[in-house]
A and B are shown apart, each in its own frame.
Chain A
Amino acid sequence: MQNQHPHILEVADLCVSYGKVEALHHANLKVGAGQIVTVIGPNGAGKTTMLGAIMGLLPKNRGDIRFLGEPQAEIEVERMVAKGMSLVPESRALFGSMTVADNLLMGAFMRHRLGHRDHPETMERVFQIFPRLKERREQQAGTLSGGERQMLAVGRALMAKPKLLLLDEPSLGLAPLIVKEIFRVIADLKQAGVSILLIEQNARAALQVADYGYVLETGEIALEGPADQLANDPKVIESYLGLGGAAHAASSRSVPVANQGETA
């Protein structure tokens, strides 16, 4: 399925370290145009590190990154933004004491600098996606609720009209209803033609919305495949989807009960 698409992002043999500790080993990953690709995995697996290196926030040790088919020799945040990559970090990194409208405006900074003056129309589009932001446009970003902050962070990234959107744990710390809404928006964005690399701990929601998935464990890609195949993979079910986990919990509960009699 992946081969039908030209690749918007190709990562080959990517290694990243913090000091002497290598956090990501020889990772390979591809995002096709118009696809949602997800990377799932436990805490500390190196998911955020991978995004940081692709975006240029972290230096890479080795590896090739091709964006829009061009090899990127020098990965620098500003350059990647200018080329059409936007990252919504896990922390959101909003401008708390600026208004919602100004936060969105800053999202268009690079486009403005490159001479595109279409930010009023882009902002209207973002307001259509997130009507809540329009209601709060003159409010300071720091006063928003958790869900609204995430909407603002995604909306701000969309102001750059990205060709590839990198989302780092967009559902983290949000109420289930809001998570649902965020994933609905992610699916809508795909319809609108934005390619997305989605990093998630909420594997169930991520695999539902994604076309292709990777499982990252302790810095290595352990598994990959079309999202629906991954969702049915027994190992993924066991570790990340919780169904097998639930069965496991149920069976293990009966064991201590039996044991209790013996130890007592």
Chain B
Amino acid sequence: MDFQIVLLLAQDGITNGAIYALLALALVLVFAVTRVIFIPQGEFVALGALTLAGLQAGRIPGTLWLLLGAGVVVALIDLAQALRSGSRRRIPRIIGWNLAYPALAAAAVTLLKPAEMAMPLQVILTLVLVVPLGPMIYRLAFQPLAEAPVLVLLIVAVAVHLALVGLGLLFFGAEGSRTPAFSDASYKLGGIVINGQTLWVVGASITLIVILYLFFEHTFYGKALRATAINRTGARLMGISTVMAGKLSFLLAALIGALSGILIAPITTIYYDTGFLVGLKGFVGAIVGGMVSYPIAAVGAVLVGLLESYSSFWASAFKEVIVFTLIIPVLVWRSLTTHHVEEEE
């Protein structure tokens, strides 16, 4: 193994690690705000990738049916609740977001000929289709359980994961898809070739992380999410509703997942169930950060990417084993160094 291979593997590892870092951040965010360990995070990666691939191939992506279906179910439940509690002023918003919006998205997909669009527009259309599924899933699966213990939320998260994988198979079929690279350029740097796609992935990940940082540090809603994560009762007393915070964090998680899928689709073939493994690797990163620390989670996820890349060179048959075994020493280290902190008053 010469130096060139080391660098090549590092490039690979950092590319994947950047994606895992994004997913790790989304997992930490969702856990902090809602206490849900969001197993279906990876499904959004697959949805993002397969939706983009479908649009480019001129098909109507199955995501559209998912969006329409989820919208109708959410609308029925919310309308029934609004009528029962007599709050009619909510009705226009419920219809707008859950029925009118998916209908508009359907019109866009069927009338605008997405296959002929420029790539950035296809990406935006993909996000338009995938991202609203996040808040809808929160509404259907987690909002009624907002006060439930973490274990119950975890079980529901597993159920949502299984349901989404099944729906993925139903709507996208068993064959995988790959999208063309954002850029075919390649740059020579000190004897190694750096792919344009690598730069895209790393650049987009860093940009997204910076945007998230600015959102949490400098905006009212970002701070409100942090406040909810720190003290739920305190946040409610400020008028920050738990439902609003939950939907917002799921929206961000869906956005991050879909973007990760769009970034990774030109690198690997994505199948309806690929997302799970990708999401789990992000989860290992999040565990390194103890599900609380954003920077440590991101660094941990990049390490996971590097470890995966080097172990695929030395022992490619055991690459997943090696990556997931990492959890054990990390957990031992965390349980030795972390002191149980009493809940902040």
Q: Which A residues have a C-beta under 8 Å from some C-beta of B?
A: 55, 57, 73-74, 77-78, 81-82, 86-87, 89, 91-98, 102, 105-107, 109-110, 112-113, 142, 156-157, 160
Chain B residues 218-235 with CB under 8 Å of chain A are 220, 223-224, 226-227, 230-231, 233-235
Asked whether B223 lies within 8 Å of A93 as measured between CB atoms, the reply is: no
Asked whether A95 lies within 8 Å of B87 as measured between CB atoms, the reply is: no
Closest approach, in angstroms, between the C-beta of B139 and any C-beta of chain A? 17
Closest approach, in angstroms, between the C-beta of B294 and any C-beta of chain A? 12
Which residue of A87, A96, A112 is within 8 Å of B231 (Cβ)?
Answer: A96
Which residue of B85, B220, B234 is within 8 Å of A94 (Cβ)?
Answer: B234
Asked whether A106 lies within 8 Å of B240 as measured between CB atoms, the reply is: yes
Residues of A within 8 A of B344 (CB): 94, 96-97, 142
Q: How many residues of B contact A (CB 8 A)?
A: 21
Asked whether B220 lies within 8 Å of A109 as measured between CB atoms, the reply is: yes
Which residue of A73, A81, A105 is within 8 Å of B239 (Cβ)?
Answer: A81
Residues of B within 8 A of A96 (CB): 230-231, 344-345
C-alpha gap A112/B238 in the complex (Å): 11
Q: A103 — nearest CB in chain B belongs to which residue?
A: B227
C-alpha gap A153/B31 in the complex (Å): 26
Asked whether B239 lies within 8 Å of A92 as measured between CB atoms, the reply is: no
C-alpha gap A179/B80 in the complex (Å): 49
Which residue of B220, B239, B345 is within 8 Å of A77 (Cβ)?
Answer: B239
Q: Please judge, given known A-B contacts A73-B86, A74-B87, A98-B223, whether A91 and B345 are in contact too, CB under 8 Å.
A: yes
**Is B236 at the interface (CB under 8 A from chain A)?**
yes
Asked whether A95 lies within 8 Å of B227 as measured between CB atoms, the reply is: yes
Ordered by A's residue number, 12 sampled pairs between the chains whose C-beta atoms are within 8 Å are A74-B87, A78-B241, A81-B238, A91-B233, A92-B345, A93-B345, A94-B344, A105-B220, A106-B227, A106-B240, A109-B240, A160-B238
Q: B86 — nearest CB in chain A belongs to which residue?
A: A73
Q: Please judge, given known A-B contacts A109-B240, A160-B238, A160-B239, whether A94 and B345 are in contact too, CB under 8 Å.
A: yes
Q: Please judge, given known A-B contacts A74-B85, A112-B220, whether A98 and B226 are in contact too, CB under 8 Å.
A: yes
Residues of B within 8 A of A107 (CB): 238
